[in-house]
Amino acid sequence: MFTDRLFREYCLQIREIEEKMEKGYRDIVAGLTHPEYRRFFSRLLADEQEHQTRIDKVISLFKRG
């Protein structure tokens, strides 16, 4: 069973993974010239940014404690 503190720590770990995924996709997009591939990876990048927004909302429910 998760305590609030442990759940918050778990969410922070998820946030860290989402940040790494965003950076990876950002790097890929920056190196691509093919428009279709750029669109595809840009969409994945946007998805990762949305995941970060969502996990931030969850984290905000659990105050530091």
pLDDT of the chain, 65 residues: tens digit per residue: 778 888 889 999 999 999 999 999 999 999 999 999 999 999 999 999 999 999 999 999 877 65
Here the tokens at position 6 are 């442990």
Would the pTM of this model clear 0.85, i.e. be above it?
no
Can you read off the two tokens belonging to residue 50?
Answer: 């949305």
Q: With CA atoms as reference, report the closest residue to 11 among 44, 60, 49, 48.
A: 60
Question: Tell me, what CATH number does 13's domain have?
Answer: 1.20.5
Look up the domain containing 24 and give its range.
4-60
How many domains is the chain built from? 1
Q: Where does 1-65 show beta strands of DSSP type E?
A: none
How many Cα neighbours within 13 Å face the side chain of 65?
A: 11
- Pairwise CA distance, residues 12 & 18, whole Å: 10
Whether 65 is covered by a domain: the verdict is no
Q: How far is CA 2 from the centre of its chain?
A: 22
